[in-house]
Structure 1
Amino acid sequence: MKKVIFICFVLFSLSISAQVAIGKTSVASLSVSLDFGAGNRGMILPWVTNTAAVTGVVNGTMVYDLSDKKVKIKYAAAWKDLSIDATGTTVDPLTSVDGAVIQNAAPETSSAKVTIGTPTATPGVLVLEDTNKAMVLPKVASPHLNIINPAPGMMVYDTTTKLLAVFNGSVWTFWKQ
């Protein structure tokens, strides 16, 4: 019971705070709504069964699509592939356990949501509702070398190449604009 109360308190606290630091004591600046601490860890995107079945999302929504094992972003009313042409996997190379089997066995709570900023009706699991702040991704030097067992859908900012790095379960893809 104590754990449930604690989780409810943390979720409530996240929903009323305009800035959140994870793995560090404070955010980098006033222009940041979500900031991650240092270390060889990344942020994992939500897994969806098939992006074609996902409705009501807004541009900028990012997911890991289990149908083709790729990281995608909703952009201009369509899903854009961020994994280039590489197909990923959800099988953990160390344990040989398929993460999709674990996820599919868990009941889904469609109302589960954390909002940082002023809550609105924007759909999503984690929604940043700021008009003048941004999310700072976890920063990792050479994630393809330093993150030992990345999860499918993981994304970080590579401080060595100065690029967005996205892992699709098999390979890292590096993006610059």
Structure 2
Amino acid sequence: MTIKRLLITLIILLNFSTICLSQVVIGKNTIGASVLLDFAENTTNGLVLPHINDIHLITDATVGTVVFDKITKKAHYYDGVQWIAINKEEGTLPLIAAEKEQGGDQGVIIGSEESTAKGVLILESSDKAMVLPKIYDPAKNVPSPYPGMICYDTRGKHVYIFNGLRWEIVG
């Protein structure tokens, strides 16, 4: 790694460490007191879950971990004992594979200086929550949804997940 790349990486990490201990908004300017992570209203971009080759190979999952399993082609969450499918129907995988994650098993932590959880993005708080991206009628308004995309439909008042073939109501 060149000195220039190293310096840029360090500057980004130092600036991001300030953000990691605070509340975060994406695409808007204000955030509610009880929210750790919030997204802009009326967007067409949902939250895409990590795609895992085989969830049964994850031996140290944290309770509440949510992923998209490439084998079952379904989103799952870990309840502390087993993986529970979130969507009912099997979906499909994207035609172009996402770039492989680089680095260790501890991702970016928001809301705390440290966490025992493992993941790409870890929201750690005892009194704040994450608000899903709000999309009006995602089946109609998201032009190219990605398998594992999850959002709140402001039209139907439901949480939806895209399984790679169609949008499903969660729950």
Partner residue of 2:20 out of 7, 15, 18: 15
1:71 to 61, 75, 99: 75
What's 1:90 paired with?
A: 93
Pick closer, same or farther for the CA change 1:6–1:174 going to 2, 3 Å: farther
Superposition TM-score, scaled by structure 1 size: 0.84
Q: What is the CA-CA distance between 1:56 and the residue it aligns to?
A: 1.2
Say if 1:14 and 1:114, in contact at 8 Å, map to a contact too. no
Match of 1:153 in 2: 148
1:108 aligns with 2:102: yes
CA distance in 1, matches of 2:150, 2:15: 24
Distance in structure 1 (CA, Å) of the matches to 2:39 and 2:15: 17
**Contact conserved, 1:157 with 1:164, CA < 8 A, in 2?**
yes
Whether contact under 8 Å (1:158, 1:165) holds in the other structure is yes
Conservation of the 8 A alpha-carbon contact between 1:82 and 1:173: no
The one-letter code of the counterpart of 1:22 is: I
SS in 2 for 1:13: helix
Query: Which residue among 24, 31, 35 is the counterpart of 1:32?
Result: 35
How far apart, in 2, do the equivalents of 1:175 and 1:88 lie? 14
8 Å CA contact 2:105, 2:118 repeated in 1:
no
Q: Deviations over 1:86-138 (max 9, x none)?
A: 222223xxxxx432xx43xx353224411111122222211111111110000
Distance in 1 (alpha carbons) for counterparts of 2:131 and 2:20: 18
Contact conserved, 2:91 with 2:166, CA < 8 A, in 1?
A: yes
Q: Number of residue pairs matched?
A: 164
Inter-partner Cα distance in structure 2 for 1:153 and 1:133: 24
Per the alignment, residue 111 of structure 2 pairs with 117
Match of 2:134 in 1: 139
Answering whether residue 58 of structure 2 is matched by residue 54 of structure 1, we say: yes
Amino-acid identity (%): 33
| TM-score, scaled to structure 2 | 0.87
Q: Using the alignment, how far apart are the partners of 1:107 and 1:22 within structure 2? A: 22
Match of 2:168 in 1: 173
For 2:141 and 2:37, the matched residues in 1 are separated by 23
CA distance in 2 between partners of 1:142 and 1:60 (Å):
26
